[in-house]
Amino acid sequence: MSKSLNLTLGTALVSVLLSAPAFAEKLGLGRVAMPEEVAAWDMDVRPDGQGLPVGSGDVLTGEETFSANCAVCHGEFAEGVDNWPKLAGGAGTLDQADPLKTVGSFWPHLSTTFDYVNRSMPYGNAGTLTPDDVYAITAYILYSNDLVDEDFVLSNENFAEVVLPNAGNFIVDDRKDTEYTKFSAAPCMENCKDTVEVTMRAAVLDVTPNVEETLAPVVEVKQIAEAPAAAPEVVVPATAEAAPAAEAPAVEAAAVEAPSAMAAADPTLISAGEKVFKQCAACHKIGDNAKNSTGPILNGIIGRAAATVEGFKYSKPMKTAGEDGLVWDAVSLDQYLTDPKAMIPRGKMSFGGLKKAEDRTAVIAYLSTIGG
CA gap 264, 271 in Å, rounded = 12
CATH of segment(s) 253-367 = 1.10.760.10
Distance CA 208, CA 213 (A): 10
Domain extents in the chain: 3-32, 56-169, 253-367
Query: Which whole number is the average pLDDT over 235-246?
Result: 44
Least confident of 37-41, 73-77, 211-215, 275-279: 211-215
pLDDT in tens, 118-170: 999 998 899 899 999 999 999 999 999 999 999 999 999 999 999 999 999 99
CA nearest neighbour of 344 among 355, 354, 333? 333
Average pLDDT score, the chain = 80
Compute the distance between CA of residue 269 and CA of residue 249 in angstroms, rounded to an integer.
Answer: 8
The length of the chain is 372
CA distance 288 to 228: 42
Q: Alpha carbon 72 to chain centroid distance? A: 14
DSSP string, 232-243: PPPPPPGGGGSP
Query: What are the residues whose beta carbons fall under 8 Å from the beta carbon of 248, sequence distance 6 or more?
Result: 268, 269, 272, 273, 358, 359, 361, 362
CATH domain 56-169 topology: Cytochrome Bc1 Complex; Chain D, domain 2 (1.10.760)
Q: Say if residue 11's pLDDT is above 60.
A: no
Res 265: pLDDT: 53
pLDDT band at 7 (very low <50, low <70, confident <90, very high): very low
Report whether 328 contacts 304 (CB < 8 A). Answer: yes
**pLDDT of residue 181 exceeding 90:** no
DSSP-based three-state secondary structure for 305: strand
Mean pLDDT of 5-15: 48
pLDDT band at residue 263 using 50, 70 and 90 as cut-offs = very low
Distance CA 198, CA 176 (A): 34
309 CB-near residues (< 8 Å, 6+ apart): 292, 296, 297
Side chain identity at 140, as an amino acid letter?
Answer: Y
- If residue 57 lies in a helix (H) or strand (E), which one and from where to where? strand 56-58
Give the confidence band of 222 by pLDDT, cuts at 50, 70, 90: very low
User: What is residue 253's predicted lDDT score, i.e. its pLDDT?
Assistant: 40
Compute and round to an integer the Cα radius of gyration of the chain: 31
Contact between 53 and 44 (Cβ < 8 Å): no
Contact 65, 136 (CB under 8 A): yes
Identify any residues that bridge with 197 across adjacent strands, giving them in sequence order.
none
The yes-or-no answer to whether 56-169 and 253-367 have a common fold is yes
β-partners of residue 155 are: 56
Q: Are 104 and 147 in contact (CB under 8 A)?
A: yes
Structure confidence by residue, pLDDT tens digits, 288-334: 888 887 789 999 999 999 999 988 888 888 989 999 999 999 999 99
What stretches of 162-234 show up as alpha helix (H) in DSSP?
Answer: 175-178, 180-183, 215-226
Q: What percent of the chain has pLDDT over 70?
A: 76
